[in-house]
């Protein structure tokens, strides 16, 4: 009995010391904010056997975070539900709202990294847009999943766990916006969804920047194109995005779609040409007239890999057209919209397509 009071006092002091140590350890962890927008990573299917049949954009961000039990050892994580939509339904306004929120959070001293959960269909467009217009050196990671969390062997939880780990890593900063899918760390500029039914769905023709395994980043290359802090564009100065659309090239293609886009008042047309961005002879006069009327013409290619070579199969100098370099049509559209907020000079546009 003699020792009981002293023991209780000792136990109380020890408990306080332990609690204080835990609090200090937690404070030492990076602070990561997850901005949720919807998609399959927030999807739910009727049964575990439904890996492809499900409803996207159902699970709220706090439930996504709760599904990552180990995450409290990695970072202090909090979530915001910015949207709850399937990403095929994203609009330019969604891009502006999201980017402005990312920019505001990135300025906060108590935010060390940002994760955006997103549908996979247009994830590559959002990731590139953020990389072009958010001026920060902090890690920004966009992540999705190919299977809903209710499915057998769902990929979302590990993809999100990886995204938070990368967002909490100092060595992930200054590399542009990144995408973590299927153990790989991809450049938001380079990556595209190239398979629509596998977890190994996202590829860059130039390869991933690195890999993440059990919370550790393994880097193998770094981006050479301008992004984030090196960008001349700033979301804080952008209030609207000009209309830019994509016309697809194929055998026997008519000018119908191009004429319709012209009538709708697009500022630039991305032509997803065949091969090296080639344009059918019967379409050239239509594009020449639209260029003469002030519309910018940007030659991309429907071919998944490679890059469009200026003046190779089309006299771009003579026609005053722009080539999209290695950017797929959907990426070229994003860059064209951002570039047109600053310039409508075709030579400046071509410089921007070489540099970003
Ligand atoms: N509809 C798809 C989307 O929201 C689902 C997904 O793959 O995330 O992009």
The answer to whether the CB of 56 is under 6 A from ligand 1 is yes
Give the tens place of pLDDT for each residue, 281-326.
Answer: 999 999 999 999 999 999 999 999 999 999 998 999 999 999 999 9
The answer to whether the CB of 125 is under 6 A from ligand 1 is no
Q: Please list, residue by residue across 292-325, b when 16 or more beta carbons sit within 10 angstroms of its beta carbon and e when fewer do.
A: eeebbbbbbbbeeeebbebeeebebeebebbbbb
Pocket test for ligand 1, best of 119, 142, 197 (most atoms within 8 A of CB): 119
What is the pLDDT, as a whole number, of residue 47? 82
The answer to whether the CB of 148 is under 6 A from ligand 1 is no
- Say yes or no to pLDDT of 75 above 90: yes
Q: Which two tokens stand for residue 312?
A: 């190779």
**How many whole angstroms from 284 Cα to the centroid of ligand 1?**
36
Share of the chain above pLDDT 70, in %: 98
- Say yes or no to pLDDT of 121 above 60: yes
Q: How confident is the model at residue 334 (pLDDT cuts 50, 70, 90)?
A: very high
The answer to whether the CB of 139 is under 6 A from ligand 1 is no
What is the pLDDT, as a whole number, of residue 211? 98
The answer to whether the CB of 40 is under 6 A from ligand 1 is yes
The answer to whether the CB of 140 is under 6 A from ligand 1 is no
Give the helix/strand (H/E) hosting 3: helix 3-28
Q: Which atom of ligand 1 is nearest to the CA of 146?
A: 7
Give the tens place of pLDDT for each residue, 317-330.
Answer: 999 999 999 999 99
What is the pLDDT, as a whole number, of residue 1? 53
What is the pLDDT, as a whole number, of residue 16? 80
Are 114 and 320 in contact, with CB atoms under 8 Å apart? no
What's phi and psi for 313, nearest 5 deg? Answer: -100, -5
- Say yes or no to pLDDT of 354 above 80: yes
Q: How confident is the model at residue 2 (pLDDT cuts 50, 70, 90)?
A: low
Mean pLDDT score, 248-273: 97
Q: How confident is the model at residue 338 (pLDDT cuts 50, 70, 90)?
A: very high
Domains and CATH numbers, the chain: 28-230 (3.40.50.1170), 243-355 (3.40.50.40)
Nearest one of 335, 312, 337, 311 to 324, comparing CA atoms:
335
Q: How confident is the model at residue 25 (pLDDT cuts 50, 70, 90)?
A: low
For 279, what's the count of Cα atoms within 13 Å in the CB-facing half-sphere? 27
Among protein residues, the one with the nearest Cα to ligand 1's atom 1 is 86
The answer to whether the CB of 39 is under 6 A from ligand 1 is yes
Mean pLDDT score, 238-260: 98
Mean pLDDT score, 334-345: 98
Give the tens place of pLDDT for each residue, 122-179.
Answer: 999 999 999 999 999 999 999 999 999 888 999 999 999 999 999 999 999 999 999 9
Supply the mean pLDDT for the chain: 95
Give the tens place of pLDDT for each residue, 30-56.
Answer: 999 999 999 999 988 778 888 888 777
Instruction: Mark whether 40 is an active-site residue.
Output: yes
Q: Which atom of ligand 1 is nearest to the CA of 41?
A: 8
Angle at 142 between CA 195 and CA 118, to 5 degrees: 70
Q: Model-level pTM greater than 0.85?
A: yes
Among protein residues, the one with the nearest Cα to ligand 1's atom 7 is 120
**How many whole angstroms from 123 Cα to the centroid of ligand 1?**
9
């Amino acid at each position: 009995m003699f020792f009981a009071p002293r023991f209780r006092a000792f136990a109380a002091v020890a408990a306080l010391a332990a609690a204080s140590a835990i609090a200090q350890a937690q404070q030492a962890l990076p602070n990561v904010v997850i901005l949720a927008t919807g998609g399959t990573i927030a999807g739910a299917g009727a049964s575990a056997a439904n890996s492809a049949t499900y409803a996207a954009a159902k699970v709220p961000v706090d439930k996504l975070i709760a599904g990552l039990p180990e995450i409290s050892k990695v970072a202090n994580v909090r979530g915001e539900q910015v949207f709850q939509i399937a990403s095929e339904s994203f609009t330019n306004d969604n891009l502006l709202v999201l980017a402005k929120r990312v920019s505001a959070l990135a300025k906060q001293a108590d935010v060390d990294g940002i994760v955006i959960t997103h549908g996979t269909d247009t994830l590559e467009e959002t990731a590139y847009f953020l990389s072009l217009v958010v001026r920060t050196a902090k890690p920004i990671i966009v992540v999705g999943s190919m299977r809903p969390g209710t499915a057998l062997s769902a990929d979302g939880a590990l993809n999100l766990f990886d995204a938070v780990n990368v967002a909490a890593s100092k060595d992930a900063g200054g590399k542009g916006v990144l995408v973590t899918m299927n153990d790989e760390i991809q450049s938001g500029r380079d990556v595209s969804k190239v398979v629509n039914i596998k977890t190994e769905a996202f590829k860059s023709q130039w390869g991933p920047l690195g890999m993440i395994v059990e919370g550790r980043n393994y880097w193998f290359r770094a981006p050479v194109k301008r992004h984030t802090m090196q960008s001349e564009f700033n979301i804080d100065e952008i209030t609207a995005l000009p209309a830019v659309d994509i016309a697809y090239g194929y055998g026997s293609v008519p000018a119908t779609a191009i004429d319709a886009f012209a009538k709708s008042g697009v500022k630039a047309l991305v032509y997803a040409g065949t091969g090296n961005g080639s344009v059918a002879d019967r379409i050239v006069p239509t594009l020449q007239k639209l260029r003469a009327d002030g519309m910018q013409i940007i030659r991309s290619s429907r071919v998944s890999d490679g890059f469009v070579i200026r003046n190779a199969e089309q006299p771009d100098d003579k026609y005053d057209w722009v080539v999209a370099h290695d950017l797929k049509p959907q990426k070229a559209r994003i860059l064209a919209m951002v570039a047109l907020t600053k310039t409508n000079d075709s030579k400046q546009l071509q410089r921007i397509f070489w540099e970003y």
